[in-house]
Structure 1
Amino acid sequence: MTTPVYPMTRASGCPFDPPPQLRDLQAEAPLTKVNIFGKDAWLVTRYDDQRTLLADPRLSSDVRRSGYPSPTGEPPRNDDGVGIGFILMDDPEHARLRRMVTAPFMIKRIEAMRPGVQQIVDGLIDDLLAGPNPVDLVEAFALPVPSLVICRLLGVPYADHGYFQQNSKNLIRMTATPEERAAAHGNLATYLDNLVGEKLENPGDDLLSGLTDRVKAGELTRQDAAGIGVLLLIAGHETTANMIALGTLALLEHPDQLAVLRETDDPKVVAGAVEELLRYLNITHNGRRRAVLEDIELHGQVLKAGDGVILPNDIGNRDPSVFENPDALDLGRDARRHVAFGFGVHQCLGQPLARMELQVVYSTLYRRIPTLRRAVGLEEIPFKHDGAVYGVYSLPVTW
């Protein structure tokens, strides 16, 4: 049998669903070998297996490990040694660095930001209603919301948003050449390193300034502080922006579900809707990657030390043994068990912030613009099949 190639292709006309080949493998061969970037790796498609392995310390997130299923053998790093934070590290170093930025993402701290985020959302909707119609929702709303929020949190000047957004796009674009990706990372690393340098001299009340306190105390190098800044800046706006736009499009295609959000003022209903949209859409659509450190037995197979493992959360969140009628978007579903944010020690640090932003957006946009609709046919909307983060490049809307 020919080894399947990963990533796989979505079915034409089904932009919200995982590739059908993943569904077939989940039903028939939940643990199978695939070819990724010319190398073999294990593909794990069932929800329970994914959670089990994501919590297993015998799997490594370090891209430099033998067998790690990455197009490159080394994590991005610029000439000054600035990496991409702790996301591609293992414990104990991963835990040490992650702990330094945990406090700003605690739920109580995030909830204190909610009024400010509501003000940002309302202001952008005011601008939408006063501006041109139709308009691209991505550029006018979905991207500015999380960019403004993460800039405030980190202490990054929003005036520089065009620069870091363009470099972020190039860094996570799957079709980018190694040279393009390296250049984009170098630009972001240099930018954050300079910003850390400024905050060492003139600290403020923001996350990056908090990291400079660690640098001064000798707990963190300036390069590591800049690397954490790169990671949080990219993750803090790219993922949420795509969830806002893709979630809106999915709701426009399911008007009965859109009506649930448009007509409710119950925060619990909104919070539940956010979880279901996260489960249903899975913008991190190319699987979490790991390298095997010690042999692991699963389904009668042995994942050997040095093997690569891919855990695609998009099909894990469509597992019918966990989510009844998984291909239906049902905002009344209890979807809190989803793995959209991963699982285990590398579970997304920023998930409280993402949840809060999405709750504010989804509870506000459709109530304030109840006649919001697509301005072009679904077939005319450009989807990010070539991106590490899934979404749409543009979403023309009218009202």
Structure 2
Amino acid sequence: MADTLTGPVPETPGAVPEFPMPRADRCPFDPPPALKDLQQRTPLTRVRLWDGTEPWLVTRYAQQRALLGDPRVSADTDRPGYPTKASPEAGEGKLSFIMMDDPEHARLRRMVTAPFAVRKVEALRPAVQRIVDDLIDDLLAGPRPVDLMERFALPIPSLVICELLGVPYDDHAFFQDNTRTMVHRDTTPEQRGQAARDVAAYLAGLIGERLAAPRDDLLSAVAGRVTAGEIDHRQATEMALLLLIAGHETTANMIALGTLALLRHPDQLALLRETDDPKLVASAVEELLRYLHITHLGRRRAVIEDIEVAGQVIKAGEGVILANEIANRDPDVFPDPDRLDITRDARRHVAFGFGVHQCLGQPLARMELQVVYGTLYRRVPTLALACPLEDVRFKHDAFIYGVHSLPVTW
């Protein structure tokens, strides 16, 4: 592929492709065919968004890593050239520190880093194991078939993040309903805004309670920053909202989508089901994160100083979209990238991003997935899809890719 790294696709009239691109119906685990074709041709090309703007699309792993680690690339949505979302219905706006640049980004992020340190997360593993085992007990005692998304994949991260934050799990249905509204692509701006306001108001109330009576939970730690004068109540609420959403919808979809991918690759499922080696389980998690990347609108950035990428100068004030799903299928980094291989060393994937904005909660997500993938198929060895694959409804209509439901039996 070295001879294809000479520069961007020539910009001829009518040649600019639309983004995002549709996945192939028969290949729901793979990136869009047009995106794969672009990667084979060039690391950098213009694409057209719904509003007519034409940011740069970056398709190769090396260039994405370089740009994600470059301080001349901004995550601030207010910067000139920042690519808009996928549709006029998507809405814009910041979600706490992930859409800020340093030094403010670093200042706010540091306030909630400690609970997600690997050592702290590992201390939660026994509690997560109990949650997973209890949910499997409920599955085995109940009727068949069952929707694994509703009865297993969604409750796990809900229980875990609610426990970590100190949010009563009795309110989990409220959070699930509202987060679904917030991430659905066809939701109107009014509906999305109302859902966000409802959750924010609830969290603001909990933070107020923690200001008066702190507990041993993450909401109390955030409230403590308000008491110390480091942030105000609104900023604390935004931070809590970010942590709740980021720790819920993404992991749930990886649990369900990963399970479906393994059911469609029985040789890989057998390897995972029959092992008691935690290293192989951890390897499976990394490979599934690489193979199934669940955000398919790309990480979006604005360039604040001229940068040369693959022989092309991206000018200050232009936007870039880093399509992580196709970077994770770059054959220069992952040989035979379209093959699911849980024995592969896939730790270099960019499912969690790279650089200062890489996912804060990745240690927690990894641990949850390790517990799930290391337990479910061993305890339910005959787990099987309860409908034809064609009947599974994939979330082509959402910002977080996955399945709406996953009927299974055993």
State the TM-score bracket (shorter-chain normalisation): over 0.9
Match of 1:80? Answer: none
Residue identity opposite 2:49 in structure 1? I
Query: Could you list the per-position Cα deviations for residues 10-60 of structure 1 after superposition, in whole angstroms to 9, with x for gaps in the alignment?
Result: 012000000011111111122000011221110000000000000011111
Instruction: State the partner residue of 1:79.
Output: none
Aligned to 1:386: 397
For residues 18 and 381 of structure 2, the distance between their equivalents in structure 1, rounded to whole angstroms, comes to 43
1:241-260 → structure 2 map (5 Å cutoff): 241-260=252-271
Q: CA RMSD in A?
A: 1.2
* 2: CA distance, partners of 1:362 / 1:110: 17
Aligned match for 2:80, one of 62, 66, 70: 66
- 2:316 counterpart of 1:305: yes
Alignment-derived partner of residue 137 in structure 1 = 148
**Aligned residue identity for 1:20:** P
Matched, 1:169 2:183: no
Q: What is the CA-CA distance between 1:75 and the residue it aligns to?
A: 4.5
- Judge which range, 252-261 or 179-188, deviates more: 179-188
Moved more, 272-281 or 191-200: 191-200
Higher mean displacement: 4-13 or 179-188: 179-188
1:215 has 2:226 as partner:
yes
Give the alignment partner of residue 24 of structure 1, picking from 28, 37, 40. 37
Q: How does 1:69-80 map to 2 (within 5 A)?
A: 69-71=83-85, 75-76=92-93
Counterpart-to-counterpart distance in 2, 1:154 and 1:173: 24
Distance (whole Å) between structure 2 residues aligned to residue 36 and residue 115 of structure 1: 45
Q: Which runs of 4+ in 1 moved over 6 A?
A: none
Match of 1:343 among 351, 354, 375: 354
Q: Which amino acid aligns with 2:367?
A: M
Deviations 1:234-272 (A, max 9, x none): 010111100000000000000000001100000001000
Question: 2:305, 2:397 → 1: CA distance?
Answer: 33
In 2, Cα distance between equivalents of 1:14 and 1:292: 34
Q: How does 1:258-337 map to 2 (within 5 A)?
A: 258-337=269-348
Given residue 247 of structure 1, which amino acid in structure 2 is its aligned partner?
G
The aligned residue for residue 8 of structure 1 is 21
Q: Which residue of the partner structure matches residue 194 of structure 2?
A: 183
CA shift, 1:300, in A, is: 2.0
- Counterparts of 1:254 and 1:395 in 2: how far apart (Å)? 16
Equivalent pair of 1:5/1:34 in contact (CA under 8 Å): yes
Amino acid at match of 1:57: P
The separation in 1 between residues aligned to 2:186 and 2:73, in whole angstroms, is 27
Aligned to 1:46: 60
Following superposition, the deviation at residue 186 of structure 1 comes to 1.4
3-state SS of paired residue (1:333): coil
Match of 2:235 among 214, 224, 244: 224
Deviation at 1:353, TM superposition (A): 0.2
Q: Tell me the equivalent position of 1:205.
A: 216
CA offset at residue 127 of structure 1?
A: 0.3
Contact 2:91/2:189 (<8 A) preserved? no
2:8 aligns to what? none
- For the pair 1:192 / 2:203, whether they are aligned, the reply is yes
Report the residue type matching 1:170 in the other structure. T
Judge conservation of contact 1:192–1:229 (CA < 8 Å) in 2: yes
Paired residue secondary structure (1:289): strand
Deviation string 1:213-252 (CA, Å, 9 cap, x unpaired) is: 1110101111111111100100101111000000000000
Give the letter aligned to residue 8 of structure 1. Answer: M
Shift of 1:84: 2.2
Q: Secondary structure at the match of 2:48?
A: strand
Q: CA deviation at 1:115?
A: 0.3
Maintained 8 Å contact 1:10/1:17: yes
- Spell out, residue by residue over 1:132-162, the C-alpha distance to the aligned partner (whole angstroms, 9 max, x if none): 1100000000000010000000011111111
- Report the AA paired with residue 53 of structure 1: L
- In the alignment, is residue 57 of structure 1 matched against residue 71 of structure 2? yes
SS in structure 2 of the partner of residue 36 of structure 1: coil
Q: Hey, what's the Cα distance between the residues in 2 that align with 1:69 and 1:84?
A: 16
SS of 1:87's partner is: helix
8 Å CA contact 2:79, 2:302 repeated in 1: yes
Instruction: Give me the whole-angstrom Cα distance separating, in 2, the residues matched to 1:254 and 1:277.
Output: 12
Instruction: Give me the whole-angstrom Cα distance separating, in 1, the residues matched to 2:143 and 2:71.
Output: 52
Report the TM-score when normalising by structure 2.
Answer: 0.94
| Preserved contact between residue 149 and residue 252 of structure 2 (Cα < 8 Å) | yes
State the match for 2:139 in structure 1.
128
Give distance in 1, aligned partners of 2:248 and 2:113: 18
Compute the TM-score of the two structures, normalised by the length of structure 1.
Answer: 0.97
AA at the equivalent of 1:357:
E
Alpha-carbon shift at residue 74 of structure 1 (Å): 7.7
Q: Which residue in 1 is equivalent to 2:119?
A: 108
Q: Does the 8 Å contact 2:55/2:320 carry over to 1?
A: yes
Kept in 2: contact 1:64–1:74 (CA 8 A):
no
Q: Quickly say closer, same or farther: Cα 1:53–1:258, change in 2 above 3 A.
A: same
SS at 2:408's partner residue? strand
Asked whether the equivalents of residues 63 and 74 of structure 1 are also in contact (C-alpha less than 8 Å), the reply is: no
Stretches of structure 1 that go unaligned for 5 or more consecutive residues are 77-82
